[in-house]
Amino acid sequence: MKKFRPSRYALHFLRISMIGISVLATYLFLRYLSPYQILMYVLIGLFWSMTFLFGVILLPIYFSRTTYNVSQEFVMKNSGMIFTSKQFMRGSSIQYITTSILPLSSATSFNFIIINALGGKMILSFLSKSDALEITATLNRGIEKRR
């Protein structure tokens, strides 16, 4: 069994994106909402506090707590920000795998794996490209073996 973690590149990319959105929102609010000063400051504050909350507290917790243990026999996912959760999936119940590798994923690590199994699915998110390909290959080998 091999242990995988979400890539740190994804965390950095998410932080940069959130800062970018907040800067853009601040500019727009300053330009168009200047006559309503209270509303403007409330909205700007809201955006920056959300950026701080997610970028500094919640997302780092999520990225540090999330782990994926993958073998041909079973998949285990530990995740959660405030409440932690553990999910197990037997390899024998896996029906097929869908992999989503986005453009520029080597820089952003926006790669996802959807494991479709009997009675449900499990999503492994923010994996580095090489990890995503390795997990897909491992699970597909498991399905192939069952034939």
Query: CB under 8 Å to 146, separation ≥6 — which residues?
Result: 92
Length, in residues, of the chain: 147
Contact between 119 and other proteins by CB under 8 A: the answer reads yes
Contact between 122 and other proteins by CB under 8 A: the answer reads no
Among 88, 96, 106, 130, binds other proteins (CB under 8 A): 96
In the complex, least distance from residue 44 CB atom to other proteins, rounded to whole angstroms: 33
Of residues 7 and 136, the one with the C-beta less far from other proteins: 136
Helical segments of the chain, H only: 8-32, 37-52, 59-65, 105-108, 129-146
Contact between 102 and other proteins by CB under 8 A: the answer reads yes
Helix 8-32 × helix 37-52 angle, to 10°: 180
* Residue/partner pairs of 73-79 with CB below 8 Å, 24 or more apart: 73/142, 75/115, 75/122, 75/124, 75/139, 77/122, 77/124
Of residues 44 and 113, the one with the C-beta less far from other proteins: 113
> What are the structure tokens assigned to 47, written together?
């955006």
Of residues 31 and 145, the one with the C-beta less far from other proteins: 145
> What are the structure tokens assigned to 25, written together?
């929102």
- With contacts defined by CB under 8 A, name the span among 31-39, 72-80, 81-89, 95-103 that binds other proteins: 95-103
Pick out residues in 127-146 that bind other proteins (CB under 8 A).
136, 140, 143-144, 146
- By the criterion CB under 8 A, which residues form the site for other proteins? 95-103, 116-119, 121, 136, 140, 143-144, 146-147
